[in-house]
Amino acid sequence: MDSRKIPLKDIKFVLLDMDGTLLDRYFDDYFWEHLVPERYAEKHSITFGKAKEELMERYRVHEGTLNWTDLDFWSKELSIDIPALKEQIKHLIEVHPHVEEFLQMLKQQKKKVFLVTNAYYKAIDLKLKKTRIGRYFDMVLSSFDVGYPKETIEFWKEAEKRLGFDKGKTLLVDDTEDVLKTAKSYGIRYILHKARANSKMKPKMSKDFLHIFDFKELL
């Protein structure tokens, strides 16, 4: 991407997603696609393959809803203590390269910086404690505060009210295209797709949005 197309000098508000955008999504992908199926297989005395197949179906039903990222919902649904399991592998939570430098730069330039995430409170707490990037944000807004996921227009209406950003002077960076599409239709002017969400997988390119692989492109 030619990052000169994002005129940082004209941008006053920066909205940043957490998982996949600032943090390496390897942690979450490993957790939901490997560790949870492993526990589920042990619990039900079935093969890992069968467990993964069953879980992927169950996950899909709730995709794009608040349940999708609600750790307490999944604890009940699967009878597995999901927050405790996440705690066990928190050493895998990593910040993407050059994220801290980017956040420091935004603070030096006196931008308003907001974390906007679909993540559940317990996941946010765990990740911000481990990475210590919370200090860079003026506010953290979760879809659980709002009552709607970021894929809905309602989320953005409420986010604008709570965060007080000016749509014409706002940059959003997110790795989920459905979120970017909704934010664009809401009127957020500058939109960037984070193409490399999981460091162990090939980047997913967007046909509709400018993308970055790494935050050094914006430094």
In the predicted model, is pLDDT for residue 1 greater than 90? Answer: no
Mean pLDDT of the chain: 96
CB-CB contact of 115 with 153 (8 Å): no
Distance CA 91, CA 129 (A): 11
Catalytic residue ranges: 10
pLDDT of residue 6: 87
In the predicted model, is pLDDT for residue 4 greater than 60? Answer: no
Tens digits of residue pLDDT in 86-111? 999 999 999 999 999 999 999 999 99
- DSSP one-letter string for 23-89: B-THHHHHIIIIIHHHHHHHHHT--HHHHHHHHHHHHHHHTTSGGGG-HHHHHHHHTS-HHHHHHHT
pLDDT of residue 102: 98
pLDDT of residue 112: 98
Q: How confident is the model at residue 3 (pLDDT cuts 50, 70, 90)?
A: low
Tens digits of residue pLDDT in 146-182? 999 999 999 999 999 999 999 999 999 999 999 999 9
Count of H-run helices and E-run strands, the chain: 10, 6
**Complete domains list, the chain, with CATH:** 3-24+94-218 (3.40.50.1000), 27-91 (no CATH)
Length of the chain: 219
Interhelix angle 71-78/121-131, rounded to 10 degrees, is 120
Tens digits of residue pLDDT in 30-51? 999 999 999 999 999 999 999 9
